[in-house]
Each structure stands twice: as structure tokens, then as C-alpha cells.
Amino acid sequence: MMPMKSVAVFCAASEDIDRIHFSEAEAVGRMLGGRGAALVYGGARFGLMEATAKAAKAAGAHIIGVVPMILEERGRVSTLIDEKINCRNLSDRKDIMLQRSDILVALPGGIGTLDEIFHVMAAATIGYHSKKVVLYNAGGFWDSLLSTLRTLKEGGFIRGNFDSLLAVANNIEELEEIIFEDICLK
């Protein structure tokens, strides 16, 4: 039997964002569950985190929540989690999510999501791992970040195998192809 692919998803925990992002998060969750993947995420019961987890669970995904103490203390942990991994803080959460996943996907998000993206990419550029980050760019959400990254690369501030560590998916079909290109989970 083929091992289950674990996909970490970084995304907003905010409810105060455009509803189109919720639809995209749900599509990602359905796709992951439909492909038999495990979802590794931050464990919050709000925003795109909860939307992704709810759709993934409904489609049969195993849900792994990496939960910092502050979420637990504030009663903000999702009830959808099949496997809960407690951690002290956000730094621990990023490291655990990286360890527990085969690939990492960034849906729309804010400062926390950017921190997660750059934490993973910085570690990869100096050789700690070779896992890919995929920016899910539905509706062009990440266009300005991609422009900034191109400017940094052209200026020599980003070097090494950066292009092999970052992928961009503009729709759900492209995202599915990137996630499952290395392993056949049909």
C-alpha cells in the first residue's frame, strides 16, 4: 500500500476576509481528502484553517493539528482534529509542521502565513531540507509577493536552488498536479 502523503497548509485564521478565499480553501480541502492525503495545519477553529480542515475531513482526510499552547488557553482549537500535536509556540509549530509534511502549501494569509512561508524557504535554501513550498495563487493573491521575490533574485539576494523550492499554482488543478507529482495517489 502506498504511504499517505502529508500536506501542510499555511493560511489565515481570520474570519474577516473576502469569502472567495473560503471557497478556494474548501476546494483545497476536498482535493486533499479526495486524494487520500493527510492535512497538517495550525489547528485553529477559525478562518481558512477551519474551512480547509472541514472540507478535507468531509472528503476523508486525516487531520493533524499542530496546536500552540496559546490556542489551547484561549479555547480556539478546532474540534475536527484527528491527531493533535501540542507545542509551546509558533516557532515550534512551524518546525513540527515541516517535519510532519511532504510538501507545504500557502493559501491566502497574513503575517503568520508569510512567516511560515519564509521560515520553510530559508531553511531549505541553506540545506536543512528539500521540501517545496507551493503558493496557491488563485485570483492572483500572491502576485505582489512573487514580484518582490523576482526582484530579490535578480538583485542577487536570493541564490542557490531557490526555484526548485518554490512552486506557484494558479488553480486547483495545477495545485493538485504539483502536490501529487512525486507520488501516485489515485
> pLDDT tens, 22-70?
999 999 999 999 999 999 999 999 999 999 999 999 999 999 999 999 9
Number of Cβ atoms within 10 Å of the Cβ of 179: 25
User: What's the pLDDT tens digit per position in 34-46?
Assistant: 999 999 999 999 9
Where are the domains positioned within the chain?
6-180
Helix, strand, coil fractions of the chain, as percent rounded to 5 = 45, 20, 35
The class level of CATH for 6-180 reads alpha beta
- Write out pLDDT tens, residues 157-186: 987 777 889 999 999 999 999 999 854 443
Please tell me the distance from the alpha carbon of residue 140 to that of residue 175, in angstroms, as a whole number: 14
List the strands of the sheet with 83-87, edge to edge: 83-87, 62-68, 38-41, 6-10, 103-106, 133-136, 166-169
